[in-house]
Amino acid sequence: MNIIVLVKQVPDTTEMKIDPIHGTLIRTGVPSIINPDDMAGIEAALSLKDHYGGTITAVSMGPLQAERMLREILGRGVDQAVLLSDAKFAGADTWATSTTLVAWLKRQSYDLIIAGRQAIDGDTAQVGPQVAEKLGIPQVSYVESIEECNGTWLTLSKAYEDYSELLEVKLPALITTLSSMNTDRGMNAVDAWAAYDKPLALVHFSDLSIPETDVGLKGSPTQVKKTFTRSLETASLKSNLSPEEAARLITDVLIKTMEA
Amino acid sequence: METKDILVFIEQRNNVIQNVSYELLSEARKLVKQIKHVKFEVVGILLGNNLGQLPHDVLNHGADRVYVADHPELSHYSTLRYTHVISELIKQHKPDSFLIGASVIGRDLAPRIAARIDTGLTADATKIEINPNEENTSELWITRPAFGGNLFGTIVCPNHRPQMATIRPQVLDADFYQLNRPGIIVNLPYKPMEDNVRILNRIEKHQSGPDITHAQILISGGRGMLEHFELLDELAQLSGGVVAASRGVVDKGAASKDIQVGQTGKTVRPRLYLACGISGAVQHTAGMDKSETILAINSDPQAPIFSVATIGIVGDAKTILPLVIENLKHHKLKHH
Ligand SMILES: Cc1cc2nc3c(=O)[nH]c(=O)nc-3n(C[C@H](O)[C@H](O)[C@H](O)COP(=O)(O)OP(=O)(O)OC[C@H]3O[C@@H](n4cnc5c(N)ncnc54)[C@H](O)[C@@H]3O)c2cc1C
Ligand SMILES: Nc1ncnc2c1ncn2[C@@H]1O[C@H](COP(=O)(O)O)[C@@H](O)[C@H]1O
């Protein structure tokens, strides 16, 4: 089984702070991590490989620093990695990102493509389905577990808001994985050493035969008009109440709500 | 590019129209009213089987026209079939914008359609407005949180139509309803097609407690209340409320994921949200800041929860809550 995993390097959004004076996002010093939903995809690919054999390729579009993330992924037992990197790709929305990834994917052979459900920087959950559409293959998003594969059909469970569905999807297909579906096995010493000898290819814009108007900021139908942080509305803050006074206040609000 | 109208995806599951679709119809009505230079209609698209009365419900909730595809193959959501039917309709009707609820189904369907018809799609939005800087425009300004809610962005789609967005459930009001509202129902033809995804089984998730998304009063606890959730349980019982929690608590295994509020939990909008020992990280407040009244107790005066609270109390919840419980018991005795 040949599997391609789409991975993105993202800033650890839990470590982000807001500059209280300028109301801007402080990005310096924020560590870069493998997107959590993608990590689940890698683990899912590794365990499919454990069962059914095959090769795993990890692909990312991003700046050159993503190479480090790809080495870490190779260190987990992934066979090869590809980084699509070019200044022309910068500023891509999901349409342009999926177009760029697909330009490369179209030339590959695969049984299964795994993307993360969503990336924690943009939180869109759109790149996976858009890649599937542009490749003309079926998709199953929000996958919470993979049950089995008979070579033609893959059986898996998809999470809805308040129920799950057991589904069968015909290969080749694309699935998007939830970070909760498994736990990262981490790097083992053998693979960690081997990671530096495994192939990691760099692909530039000129290697993909697509028009410049389809990639990066220029190729993006959506544009960011403005960004802002939440304005801090000041609450009526009671800082000097005794516990009894505080309890009285809360009781009054509760009773008012209960009896309204 | 000649485009018209605002199209809304009407999501039904088991022939129940999801509330987010009604929220979008109400919002679309407000938007068409603000677009003054041209006359736009609100148009629904509803897919399913044996839909009966449902198209009329769509009209009553604000659509001027509803396209209906009714066929056994459409009874359950199918990425392939729904994408096909809706993309064909878009090519034919040429809507100016297209709104979809940001449910699991909506977030599976919308990107697939946007890729097929090559237009822009804004994900998981929390606010929609008409470009406030120009007259005679129908350009949508769509605002959404990003970077885990640390930053908000306003997104536009200047050169492609329809402008598409998925909108988070429960952030807009479903406040339009008019019984027997006249409108046009158009039946769409449907040709059966083989799906490459088959549904084998549906597994209900057992809901261990009451549903926090429908509660009027939520008694919510964070890490500051760890090991003291029995206070919250008792308070919920006395007030007819339901207990909710932050991820900080769920991650510690002290509460079930069903009751987690926030970006990766549920979006709630109760009449009263009592936040006890919750710091109020943006990922948490993203799921509760639309509550009618927010009462927060936190021992740290700098806690960010106070910036969304209606009333903030600096103090120790473990001391205050037992007193509230006593007060409520007293109140009940007096009034019985
Ligand atoms: C991608 C992503 C998604 C996330 N999604 C969610 C989500 O859906 N929901 C969510 O909740 N979080 C979410 N988080 C986590 C979020 O960032 C916070 O880490 C989490 O909400 C913190 O939980 P907490 O407020 O209970 O804990 P803490 O941050 O530890 O806060 C505890 C608070 O209790 C106060 N306190 C302590 N003792 C007392 C006392 N005796 N009386 C009164 N106050 C007291 C403290 O002052 C402190 O402010 C997400 C994070 C990421 C990265
Ligand atoms: N630049 C990228 N390179 C590789 N994969 C990506 C990229 N952007 C998004 N993806 C994949 O698409 C998923 C969804 O991303 P998003 O639509 O941005 O939320 C991610 O979890 C990745 O698997």
Q: What is the reported pLDDT for A188?
A: 82
Which chain B residues have a beta carbon less than 8 Å from that of A254?
Answer: 217, 239, 272, 274, 324, 328
Q: What is the CATH number of the domain that holds B175?
A: 3.40.50.620
What is the extent of the structural domain holding B22?
6-187
Q: What is the reported pLDDT for A65?
A: 94
**Which one-letter amino acid corresponds to residue B117?**
I
B221 with B327, same domain? yes
Rounded to the nearest whole angstrom, what is the distance from the C-alpha of residue A10 to the centroid of ligand 2?
A: 10
Q: Is B150 a domain residue? A: yes
Which atom of ligand 1 approaches the CA of B316 most closely? 42
Q: Is B17 a domain residue? A: yes
B178 with B231, same domain? no
List the single residue in B with minimal CA-CA distance to A224. Answer: B155
Whether pTM exceeds 0.90: no
Which atom of ligand 1 approaches the CA of B264 most closely? 8
Mean pLDDT of B302-314: 91
Q: What is the reported pLDDT for B42?
A: 98
pLDDT tens-digit map of B96-115: 999 999 999 999 999 999 99
Residue finishing a domain among B170, B187, B204: B187
Q: What is the reported pLDDT for A25?
A: 67
Residues of chain B with pLDDT > 70: what percent?
A: 97
B177 with B306, same domain? no
The size of the A-B interface in CB pairs under 8 A is: 244
Query: What mean pLDDT, rounded, does chain B reach?
Result: 94
Q: What is the CATH number of the domain that holds B292?
A: 3.40.50.1220
Q: Which of A8, A84, A135 is the pocket-test mutation for ligand 2 (most atoms within 8 Å of CB)?
A: A8
Q: Is A95 in the pocket of ligand 2 (CB under 6 A)?
A: no
List domains and CATH numbers for chain A. Answer: 2-219 (3.40.50.620)
B183 with B246, same domain? no
Identify the residue whose C-alpha is closest to ligand 2 atom 9.
A127
Q: Which residue of B81, B86, B108 is the best one to mutate when testing the A interface, meaning the one whose CB has the most A CBs within 10 A?
A: B108
Q: How far is A73 from chain B (nearest CA, A)?
A: 23
Q: Is A94 in the pocket of ligand 2 (CB under 6 A)?
A: yes
Q: Is B90 a domain residue? A: yes
Query: What mean pLDDT, rounded, does chain A reach?
Result: 91
Instruction: Provide the b/e sequence for B1-20 (b: ≥16 CB within 10 Å).
Output: eebbbbbbbbbbbeeebbeb
Q: Is A154 in the pocket of ligand 2 (CB under 6 A)?
A: no
Q: Is A118 in the pocket of ligand 2 (CB under 6 A)?
A: yes
Identify the residue whose C-alpha is closest to ligand 2 atom 12.
A127
**Which one-letter amino acid corresponds to residue A222?**
T
B165 with B245, same domain? no
Q: Which of B150, B219, B284 is the pocket-test mutation for ligand 1 (most atoms within 8 Å of CB)?
A: B284
SS (H, E, C) A143-163: EEEEEEECCCEEEEEEECCCE
B34 with B75, same domain? yes
Q: Do A16 and B119 touch (CB under 8 A)?
A: no
Residue B167 · residue B125 · CB < 8 Å: yes
Q: Do B104 and A165 touch (CB under 8 A)?
A: no
Q: How far is A259 from chain B (nearest CA, A)?
A: 10
B232 with B137, same domain? no
Q: Is A85 in the pocket of ligand 2 (CB under 6 A)?
A: no
Q: What is the reported pLDDT for A232?
A: 43
Q: Is B279 in the pocket of ligand 1 (CB under 6 A)?
A: yes
Q: How far is A231 from chain B (nearest CA, A)?
A: 9
Which DSSP letter does residue B261 get?
B
Q: Is B291 a domain residue? A: yes
Please give the C-alpha separations between residue B165 and each of A147, A164, B97, in angstroms, as whole numbers.
Answer: 33, 25, 8
Q: How many domains does chain B have?
A: 2
Q: Do B314 and A237 touch (CB under 8 A)?
A: yes
B51 with B180, same domain? yes
Rounded to the nearest whole angstrom, what is the distance from the C-alpha of residue A119 to the centroid of ligand 2?
A: 6
Which chain B residues have a beta carbon less than 8 Å from that of A229?
Answer: 150-152
Q: How far is A132 from chain B (nearest CA, A)?
A: 8
Residue B26 · residue B62 · CB < 8 Å: yes
Q: Is B1 a domain residue? A: no
Which chain B residues have a beta carbon less than 8 Å from that of A142?
Answer: 104, 108
Q: Is B219 a domain residue? A: yes
Identify the residue whose C-alpha is closest to ligand 1 atom 41.
B316
For chain A, state the CA radius of gyration: 22
pLDDT tens-digit map of A131-158: 999 999 999 999 999 999 998 999 999 9
B160 with B255, same domain? no
B328 with B181, same domain? no
Phi, psi of B73 (to 5 degrees): -70, -10
Mean pLDDT of B288-309: 91
Mean pLDDT of B225-253: 94
Q: Is B40 a domain residue? A: yes
pLDDT tens-digit map of A182-235: 999 998 888 888 898 999 999 999 999 999 999 999 999 999 998 887 654 444
Please give the C-alpha separations between residue A34 and each of A38, A176, B53, B157, in angstroms, as whole numbers.
Answer: 7, 15, 48, 29
Q: Do B271 and A248 touch (CB under 8 A)?
A: no
Mean pLDDT of B159-169: 96
CB-count exposure of residue A231 (10 Å: 0-12, 13-18, 19+): exposed
List the single range of A81-85, B93-97, B330-334 with lowest mean pLDDT: B330-334
> Six-digit token pair at B71?
């066929």
Residue finishing a domain among B154, B187, B220: B187
Mean pLDDT of B31-55: 97
Residue A5 · residue A45 · CB < 8 Å: yes
Q: Is B196 a domain residue? A: no
Instruction: Provide the b/e sequence for A76-85 (b: ≥16 CB within 10 Å).
Output: bbbbebbbbb
Winning range, highest mean pLDDT, from A186-195, B234-243, B285-294: B234-243
B220 with B178, same domain? no
Q: Do A254 and B202 touch (CB under 8 A)?
A: no
Q: Do B120 and A95 touch (CB under 8 A)?
A: yes
Q: Which is more confident, A23 or B152?
A: B152
Which atom of ligand 2 approaches the CA of A5 most closely? 23
Residue A59 · residue A84 · CB < 8 Å: yes
pLDDT tens-digit map of B175-204: 999 999 999 999 999 999 999 999 999 988
B226 with B162, same domain? no
